Structure 1
Amino acid sequence: MRKIFMRFYIVLILMVVVMTTLAYSQYKYSENVVSKEIEINTRLSLEKLQAEINSLVLANSSVIVDIVDFIELHNWDDAELLSYIQKKLNNSNYFFSIYYGKANNKMINGSGWVPPKDFVLTDRPWYKMAKEENDLIITNVYVNASDNDLIVTIAKPVKDKGNNLLGVVGGDISLSTLIDTYIHKFEENGLSFLINSSGQIIAHPELIHRDSLELPEASNQYRQIIDRILDKKSGLEKIVLDDEEGYLAFMPIGKTNLLLASFTSLEEAQASSQQLTLFFFLVVALSIGIFSVFLLLQRRYIASPLLELVNSISAINIEKDLSYRLNIKERSIMKDLGEKINDLLSKIEFFVLKIRNDQEELQAMNEELEASMEQMAAAEEEILRQKHQFEALFKNSTDSIVIFNKDHHIIDINESFTKLFGYTIDEIYGKELDGVLSVTYKKEEANKLTNDLLDGKEVALESVRYGKGDIPIEVGIKGVPIIFENKVIGGYGIYTDITERKRAEEQILYISRHDSLTGLYNRAYFEDQLLRIEKQNILPVSILIGDVNGLKMTNDAFGHDVGDTILKRIAGILTKTCGEDAIITRVGGDEFVVILPYTDEATGLEICNEIKKSCQMESKDTLQLSVSLGVATKTKSKQSIYKICKKAEDIMYDNKLLESKSIRNSIITSLRKTLEERTHETDEHSSRLMTLSLCLGQKLGLNDNQLNELSLLAALHDIGKIAIPDHILLKPGPLTSEEWQIMKKHSEIGYRIASASSELAVIAEAILHHHERWDGKGYPQGLKKNKISLSARVIAVVDAYDAMTSDRPYRKAMDKADAIEELIREKGKQFDPHIVNTFLELLEE
């Protein structure tokens, strides 16, 4: 009978399985067809939207690139640049502002926006990003400088021909403009949204933020999706969004840091396939219902009584519950069998309890014995371990360790003690510790430490102890008492050599108070001393302030090494002149301040005169020592020392103004002498060049100012050569390509030197241009024709003629006729044709 039931059950189960499998197959087939169609549509719609946005980005990027090309093409003035930028801005449908930020913090803005005074454009994100990337960039969304809109900036750096950064051109597009352009398309064929590389939502049909200066926060569910997009950059995935299953496609947009994503739900597309699937599931459910009714009837009348008995027997577990008995119903057909099983369980319970009681007594005795043995073994092991640890620590410690008894007598020392103090155990065993390591004036301190330690205290301090031969050693001292049976029987003395650390601390203190170049005190020390003098009310006290003259021009002309030499020379003069009590400080690049305690104003003025005399005496043609000085004196307590400093500074600047022209003339004279010495140019060459230049300038109709500039240029046009190394400047043979590149820099060096002086600034541009060619093949800027300054074109002709007709160390002078022929041959190539013709007329006259 049981086999028949089993076969019947198997047939019914197989029918249910087959019907369920058919229904599930139909459902999966429909789902796959719909999913594939949605996958294709999602990818196509995303690629279309991505192409449109990429096209917009490229179109607007081309505007910025056009402006950069325009700026790099020519040296336009600001008005021309502004006009061109405004034209581009007016023709753009997306930019609301286009601007050019120069490296000197000047901005040319086509929208007319004027930055505030404290505006630092080099700190703006678009400027920094374009400078770092050195290419066209598109920023993340940020708040504009007016704090009234969220924007995206497209920017590109502007470079000169030497690849030096001139500035950055940028254009701002309002985030609301981007949203208005594409928000309607984000709802076509599903749901699309735009994010940046930081994971912020830029555009979303349901998250509109036109009036907010903050991008909306993404929900936790969106946050997970955005993190996956940022990680993979592009792809197509099946996800669940807002309880809807669908496909998410995402990809980056061109050179931007933006990513576009699109989500298409499967729910509506799969509705028809789900209806057919529902029918199959209803059929399956009906079959399962009929099968279940049959099972319930069979279970109630046949299987349940037998199963109850089997389950009750299976629940018997003598190890866990000896009191367990079968629960037998009064009318059960299994009642007699159940009662017999319960009687057997009662007998088992009795014998098991008796055995357990005997086992527990034996177990308790065994555990007690094992515990005692384990404690003894552990104690022995701990004693041995501590002994080994102490021996290893004592012998191998890098610290010096001494063991002494309660009478302060030395018992043992380690190797580090011998290395540090020079004593062996044989030399000092049994001697008093403090008598060995301390001299007379330190012994009281050492005795107190030892007594404190023997009183049971731990001691620690830093002090000096003395090694063999009374050699002082900086040490950190620690003391630990040795306690046995609650009594102090001696102690450990631990000494750490801190000599190097103390030296380092002294060096750091020195560096924190002194100027690294001159060795004088620095500004921090000056301010501390000024406060001390104010508090101690030292009277009278004079403040002397000095500012080195012409240091920038010297650095540009001769290099920073010469400038540093001047600073060190003046520091030496101040140290020698101001006296031992003076506090001499260098508080800035070229500024010195001297505090003169107990010095009246007359003495302070005498010191100023002595400083000036020393500077004159130690000055050389190529090393001019000049410093403008000012001195003021505090004579009353109520006077503020800081106001005295301000008064001294004002006097110094007044003197600098009066002396400035003489100082600059002295430096210019020094430059001319240095140029003659370095280049071996003779006075006759300079005189000829000046005479020919003035005659040619007069024939060209130049005014008096232009003639004066021409005369000065004739003498100093090669001033940049003083910074060229001697092995290149004086080389008798031809220069290598690398040496020639260095030599060609003298025009730019001369320009910087001349620009640093108001007297030479008028010829700075001509010095920069004097090696340019009429055909644009010269250097350093490759200028053509009239873009080369007139005086530079004049000097080029006259200098070439004089060079050809004068003897040189490496060749004889050329015949004048040959020189004239060379000028004619280079007319229109190297030289201005009009100037060459005029010069030839001058030579005929």
Structure 2
Amino acid sequence: KKIEEVLPSNILNMVKKKIEKVLQYGQIESCEYELDVPGGTSQYYELRLVMVNDKEIMIIMQNITERKELENQLKYLSYHDKLTGLYNRRYFEKALKNLDVEENLPLTVMVADVNGLKLINDTFGHDAGDQLLIHATDMLQIGCKDQGVIARTGGDEFSIILPKVDNQKAEQLIKKMQELNTQIEHLNIELSISFGCATKEHIKTDIFEVIKEADEKMYAHKLFEGPDMRTKGIDALMQNLYKKNNKAEEHSKRVSVLCGKMGEVLGMKEKEMKELEKAGFLHDIGKVVVHRKILEISNYHGHHERKEMRKHPDIGYRILNTVEGMSKVAEYILFHHERYDGSGYPKGLKGEEIPLGARILSIVNVYDAMLQEESNYKEKNSQTQVIKKLRQKAGTHLDPMLTKIFIEEVLELEFS
């Protein structure tokens, strides 16, 4: 067959030039081409041209589709973030250099930081954190449309380059994005992003100073918005828990009130008392990651159920320890299942090794749980039965002195 009958017409001229080079210089030549095939797909081929003698050339054709697809994938990943599909930091820096020219002025750089990502990762796992980042990506793309280059430049940080956009227009874009519906329904969590932007208006201005200014503005907003968003985040987690277990909300409120009364009896300072009340209200926050069916079980006889339930103090600690001003609350929650005789969890602390707040919380939690617990006759335990059980646990599970104070001065009942 003639070469015209074998090769597609669109690459024929290129191959003929390669043949001339082989005949002239005697060296091996190669080329690649793409061929459309039925079904709307493409195949990639490589041709190698080798001189056999003065009059003959051997052409070796090889299908390299798999290799080309891998190369294209690697090329894509070298400039894109795998999770979100956005550009990555490498591309952002390259684009910034290319766009930093006079014709693009005013040139605005926007920095966006997702609030609460660590809290979501620690509580629900990294899959939920990934969903949060994907929602943030959708919000940024909808808000910016095709106006700029959006990149994920850090774990929870995004950067946007906006050519020919002044500061006023950039602020309008931020306001528009913040107004978008950002509720992640199945997690009952509201997406929150802190923004900062700065604009380069003169060509002599250093673009990295503009980025620095945008960063500083973002962090200022984060400091201002942070406490409110952390409170909302904790509220959202508690609401998730209440949906899984309808008894949890009333139990939390009762424990909080009784903790406050215990703190008052002990003459605690107001700050300490507030921390104790908050620990009482939030002591079960770690159960938000426990499966609904396990939460509905009253007695955890199975190894799996006990293992899952015993995670909640540590998870509660990790959630709250990230929140400013909650370190004591987190500590009380971590240790509220320790026992006075050292047989508790998670650390096996005993006696006064267990923080005072945790010992108080343990007594109140056990009291309210037993009071609401159904007896063998499907009736709630009477207070007399509960007090009897509390006395039995004093010195083993519970601090004996604090248990006596709780019964006599908070409940105003006789200890013995």
Q: Does 1:691 align with 2:270?
A: no
Query: Equivalent residue of 2:342, what SS?
Result: coil
CA gap 1:467/1:719 in 2 versus in 1, 3 angstroms: closer
Query: Equivalent residue of 2:29, what SS?
Result: strand
Say if 2:196 and 2:218, in contact at 8 Å, map to a contact too.
Answer: yes
Query: Aligned letter for 1:533?
Result: L
CA gap 1:482/1:804 in 2 versus in 1, 3 angstroms: closer
Corresponding residue of 1:511:
77
CA distance in 1, matches of 2:310, 2:403: 24
Q: CA deviation at 1:667?
A: 0.9
Q: CA deviation at 1:683?
A: 3.6
CA gap 1:471/1:459 in 2 versus in 1, 3 angstroms: farther
Q: Does 1:767 align with 2:333?
A: yes
CA distance in 2, matches of 1:556, 1:481: 65
Please point out which of 138, 146, 159 is paired with 1:572: 138
CA gap 1:461/1:808 in 2 versus in 1, 3 angstroms: farther
CA distance in 1, matches of 2:122, 2:52: 71
TM-score, length-scaled by structure 1: 0.46
Identify which range, 813-822 or 787-796, moves more after superposition: 787-796
CA distance in 2, matches of 1:680, 1:668: 18
Corresponding residue of 1:208:
none
CA distance in 2, matches of 1:597, 1:467: 37
CA gap 1:621/1:759 in 2 versus in 1, 3 angstroms: farther
Please point out which of 368, 375, 395 is paired with 1:828: 395
Q: Does 1:644 align with 2:210?
A: yes
Q: CA deviation at 1:770?
A: 0.6
Say if 2:37 and 2:43, in contact at 8 Å, map to a contact too.
Answer: no
Corresponding residue of 1:478:
48
Query: Equivalent residue of 2:162, what SS?
Result: strand
CA distance in 1, matches of 2:124, 2:316: 11
Q: Does 1:710 align with 2:276?
A: yes
Residues 672-722 of structure 1: per-residue CA shift (max 9 Å, x gap): 212222333344323322222222221222221122112101111121112
CA distance in 2, matches of 1:465, 1:684: 68
Q: Does 1:494 align with 2:64?
A: no
Corresponding residue of 1:438:
8
Say if 1:634 and 1:641, in contact at 8 Å, map to a contact too.
Answer: yes
With CA pairs under 8 Å and 6+ residues apart, which has the higher RCO, 1 or 2? Answer: 2
CA distance in 2, matches of 1:746, 1:500: 48
CA distance in 2, matches of 1:582, 1:557: 34
CA gap 1:501/1:704 in 2 versus in 1, 3 angstroms: same
CA gap 1:732/1:699 in 2 versus in 1, 3 angstroms: closer
CA gap 1:784/1:436 in 2 versus in 1, 3 angstroms: closer
Q: Does 1:596 align with 2:158?
A: no
Residues 760-779 of structure 1: per-residue CA shift (max 9 Å, x gap): 22211111111111222211
CA distance in 1, matches of 2:41, 2:327: 65
Corresponding residue of 2:33:
464
Say if 2:259 and 2:360, in contact at 8 Å, map to a contact too.
Answer: yes
CA gap 1:454/1:569 in 2 versus in 1, 3 angstroms: same
Q: CA deviation at 1:666?
A: 0.8
Query: Aligned letter for 1:464?
Result: Y
CA gap 1:653/1:765 in 2 versus in 1, 3 angstroms: same
Identify which range, 499-508 or 807-816, moves more after superposition: 807-816
Please point out which of 437, 442, 447 is paired with 2:16: 447
CA distance in 2, matches of 1:703, 1:456: 94
Say if 1:555 and 1:562, in contact at 8 Å, map to a contact too.
Answer: yes
CA gap 1:468/1:570 in 2 versus in 1, 3 angstroms: closer
Q: CA deviation at 1:457?
A: 4.0
CA gap 1:776/1:453 in 2 versus in 1, 3 angstroms: closer
CA distance in 2, matches of 1:540, 1:653: 23
Say if 2:22 and 2:29, in contact at 8 Å, map to a contact too.
Answer: no
CA distance in 2, matches of 1:657, 1:677: 31
Q: What pairs with 1:481-560 in structure 2 (closer than 5 Å)?
A: 481-483=51-53, 488-534=54-100, 538-560=104-126
Corresponding residue of 2:150:
584
Query: Aligned letter for 1:572?
Result: D
Q: CA deviation at 1:454?
A: 4.8
Q: What pairs with 1:85-234 in structure 2 (closer than 5 Å)?
A: none
Say if 1:438 and 1:446, in contact at 8 Å, map to a contact too.
Answer: no
Residues 375-434 of structure 1: per-residue CA shift (max 9 Å, x gap): xxxxxxxxxxxxxxxxxxxxxxxxxxxxxxxxxxx3xxxxxxxxxxxxxxxxxxxxx313
Query: Equivalent residue of 1:463, what SS?
Result: strand
CA distance in 1, matches of 2:335, 2:296: 23
Q: CA deviation at 1:519?
A: 1.3
Please point out which of 650, 667, 672 is paired with 2:233: 667
Residues 447-499 of structure 1: per-residue CA shift (max 9 Å, x gap): 3234444556445132326588798642222223443xxxx334322222222
Query: Aligned letter for 1:826?
Result: K
Q: CA deviation at 1:733?
A: 5.6
Query: What is the percent sequence identity of the aligned residues?
Result: 34
CA gap 1:732/1:602 in 2 versus in 1, 3 angstroms: same
The CA RMSD over aligned residues, in Å, is: 2.5
Residues 632-674 of structure 1: per-residue CA shift (max 9 Å, x gap): 1112211121111111111101111111111111112112212
CA distance in 1, matches of 2:176, 2:375: 46
Residues 199-250 of structure 1: per-residue CA shift (max 9 Å, x gap): xxxxxxxxxxxxxxxxxxxxxxxxxxxxxxxxxxxxxxxxxxxxxxxxxxxx
Q: What pairs with 1:243-642 in structure 2 (closer than 5 Å)?
A: 410=1, 432-439=2-9, 441-455=10-24, 457-464=26-33, 466=35, 473-483=43-53, 488-534=54-100, 538-614=104-180, 616=182, 622-642=188-208
For the pair shown, the structure with the greater C-alpha radius of gyration is 1
Query: Equivalent residue of 2:180, what SS?
Result: helix
Query: Equivalent residue of 1:603, what SS?
Result: helix
Query: Equivalent residue of 1:464, what SS?
Result: strand
Unaligned runs of 5+ in 1: 1-409, 411-431
Q: CA deviation at 1:800?
A: 1.5
Q: Does 1:729 align with 2:309?
A: no
CA gap 1:466/1:719 in 2 versus in 1, 3 angstroms: closer
Corresponding residue of 2:344:
778
CA gap 1:682/1:767 in 2 versus in 1, 3 angstroms: closer
Say if 2:50 and 2:58, in contact at 8 Å, map to a contact too.
Answer: yes
Q: CA deviation at 1:438?
A: 2.1
Query: Equivalent residue of 1:614, what SS?
Result: coil
Say if 1:615 and 1:626, in contact at 8 Å, map to a contact too.
Answer: no
Q: Does 1:814 align with 2:381?
A: yes
CA distance in 1, matches of 2:4, 2:363: 91
Query: Equivalent residue of 1:532, what SS?
Result: helix
CA distance in 2, matches of 1:680, 1:673: 10
